[in-house]
Copies of this chain bind each other. A is one copy, B any other.
Amino acid sequence: MDFHSILIMMVTLIVLAYIASAVFERFGLLGLIGEIVIGIVIANLAIGDWTLLGQLGIEMGDSMGGEPSQNYEIIELFAELGVIFLLFSIGLETKVKDLLSVGKAATLVAVMGVIIPFVAGFALIQIYDGNMHHALFMGAAMVATSVGITARVIKDMKKINAKESRIIIGAAVIDDILGMVVLAIVIGMASSEGGASNVALISIEALVFVLASMAAALWVVPKIYGFFEKRNKDKPASSRTSISRLVLAIMVCLGFSLIAYEIGLAAIIGAFLGGMLLAEYAHWWKLEERVESITALFISFFFLNVGMQVDLGSLTDVTVVALSIVVILLAIATKYIGCSVGAKMGDKTLSKGSRSIIGYGMVPRGEVGIIIAAIGLASGAMSSELYAVAIMMAVATTIIASPMLARAFKKEYPPEYDPTMEELV
């Protein structure tokens, strides 16, 4: 292990991300967008033969067999850990009862937010080049929802306890399950191996995992907790105990991420469910601030890495640019419309502003869209041209929708009249 090179890379990236975030916030923009933008700059900065990536020992690899360098793999690992701990901390602030209370709305938001973008993406590419495999994968990439991005906005705005946030988070979990099903079907069709029974199996596994986690949070954890608290009630809680509890929470977080991963769900969905398992005790155990600190070390790598996927070189291709613009507009419109209509169907009491929050909250495709496009490229079912378009779509929806979400939140909850602030300050 070349620790020296890793240290140089870590320091450089953390400093650049910090500056970009601070500059964007100075101008009233979201810090995470600054980090994504600086990621684009880092990946594309070249002066003659000199590249910043080369300087930092980062080789991102490619689908043509180019292997990523160790330093890039560490960025990927930190990015993944960052978003896992971010979703874990969102889970820690989400009680099962609150999530269940928005269950119907969340389900309809997820379903509508899957169907409409998929149909639109599929139809567009069918018209564009008539290749069904291309069309299927673009549809699947447009289905993705990056709850990581939205979660960060919600967390920064201290809106985790708002009803709209709970609907978005719940819908994102369901969306991930549906997205996995769509992807499994698409891969099955593209590789012309049926695999329908396989799709049914993983869907059932995923559903069982989600429901079992919720049931455990409601009925099993309180019993275990009660048992240990009774045993330990005569011992004073020291800072040692507090660290010990944090390590226990880390085990739950990574353990649930692992289970989700094994089933075929995104690891972050597991992390979220793991957090929810401890939500009733998180405040008492002072977990939020501690997990937040771990997240802070890693999370910039996540946003940087999203930006780093953009190859500005592909923008010299007029077709890619034109198609990207169409796909981006379609991706935003279909997800926004699908989700806000779903929200209206699921909960008549939601105001127009609330539906708008939910619509924008589901738009960012972020890393999930990128992963699906990469699977399509690697399996040969997607062209490199359409891959570039899908990356543009995933990053652009994130950059465009996050500020809209923030603005929609501010409009619906003006700071001075914000009913959710009191409990959080």
Please give the residue numbers on chain A whose beta carbons come within 8 Å of chain B beta carbons, in ascending order: 1, 3-4, 6-8, 10-11, 14-15, 18, 22, 68, 70, 73-74, 76-77, 80, 156, 158, 239-240, 243-244, 246-248, 250-251, 254-255, 257-258, 261-262, 267, 289-294, 296-297, 300
| Given A6-B77, A11-B258, A70-B70, 8 further pairs, Cβ under 8 A | A3-B261, A4-B258, A156-B240, A239-B292, A243-B292, A243-B296, A246-B293, A247-B296
In the complex, A239 Cα to B293 Cα: how many Å?
Answer: 11
Does B291 contact A261, Cβ atoms closer than 8 Å?
A: no
List the B side residues contacting A294 at CB < 8 Å: 293-294, 297
Q: Which of A258, A261, A296, A300 has the most CB of B within 10 A?
A: A296
In the complex, A4 Cα to B14 Cα: how many Å?
Answer: 26
Q: In the assembly, how many copies of this chain are there?
A: 2
Between-chain CB contacts (< 8 Å), 24 pairs: A1-B68, A1-B73, A3-B76, A3-B77, A3-B261, A7-B261, A11-B251, A11-B255, A14-B250, A14-B254, A18-B247, A70-B70, A70-B73, A74-B77, A156-B240, A239-B289, A239-B292, A243-B293, A246-B293, A250-B296, A289-B290, A290-B296, A293-B294, A294-B294
Interface majority SS (helix, strand, loop, mixed), chain A? helix
> Given A1-B77, A294-B294 in contact, is the A15-B243 Cβ separation under 8 Å?
no
Measured CB to CB, the closest approach of chain B to A236, in angstroms, equals 10
List the B side residues contacting A240 at CB < 8 Å: 156
In the complex, A204 Cα to B80 Cα: how many Å?
Answer: 41
In the complex, A261 Cα to B158 Cα: how many Å?
Answer: 40
List the B side residues contacting A18 at CB < 8 Å: 247-248, 251
Measured CB to CB, the closest approach of chain B to A363, in angstroms, equals 23
Q: Which of A1, A80, A248 has the most CB of B within 10 A?
A: A1
Does A261 contact B4, Cβ atoms closer than 8 Å?
A: yes
> Given A261-B7, A296-B246 in contact, is the A76-B1 Cβ separation under 8 Å?
yes
Measured CB to CB, the closest approach of chain B to A116, in angstroms, equals 31
Measured CB to CB, the closest approach of chain B to A226, in angstroms, equals 20
Task: Report the nearest B residue to A14, measured CB to CB.
Answer: B251
Does B267 contact A3, Cβ atoms closer than 8 Å?
A: yes
In the complex, A293 Cα to B70 Cα: how many Å?
Answer: 26
In the complex, A139 Cα to B125 Cα: how many Å?
Answer: 71
Task: Report the nearest B residue to A290, measured CB to CB.
Answer: B293
Does A80 contact B293, Cβ atoms closer than 8 Å?
A: no
